Amino acid sequence: MTEPDAVPDMDELLAQVRKQTEEVQRIQRTVEAMEVKAASRQNEVTVTLRGDGRFTSVDIDQRAIREYDARTLSEIVLEAVNAGLQKLAEASSAKFAPVIEASRSQQ
């Protein structure tokens, strides 16, 4: 058991920082390699985006093109895009949660 007023070992602290930095970098690579799919509520539009936030596809159902005017269709596309961004944010947070929790427990 260490004393509460003891000076921490600098080599130990640096080793912990290096380990956490390596873990964060590993998770960042994992997140960037992720691919997330999301859709509008009625699946008229489906989007795919990578972990780096770049969209790789936007698929619009032919029925939706015939059925909706441009303004409505653009709203549906935005709905799918925002759903994709939300899903990516949630997946990214889930990946980083263990590192965040570990750093909190060390404080």
When the pLDDT of each residue in the chain is averaged and rounded to a whole number, the result is 86
Would 57 be classed as within a structural domain? yes
Residue 98 lies in a domain: yes
19 in any annotated domain: no
| Structure-model confidence comparison of residues 32 and 76, the more confident one | 76
- Residue 34: name the closest of 96, 98, 76 by CA: 96
CA 42, CA 80: separation in Å to the nearest integer?
10
Domain that holds residue 83: 34-105
More confident residue, 86 or 28: 86
Q: Which SS3 state, helix, strand or coil, does residue 59 take? A: strand
In a domain, 69, yes or no: yes
Q: Is residue 1 part of a domain?
A: no
Kindly report the pTM of this predicted structure: 0.71
Give every strand in the sheet of 55-60, ordered side by side: 35-39, 45-50, 55-60
What's the CATH code of the domain at 50? Answer: 3.30.1310.10
Total domain count, the chain: 1
Within a domain: 92: yes
In a domain, 44, yes or no: yes
72 found inside a domain: yes
- At 107, the pLDDT band (50, 70, 90 cuts) reads low
Predicted pLDDT at 94 = 83
pLDDT-derived band at 31, boundaries 50, 70, 90: confident
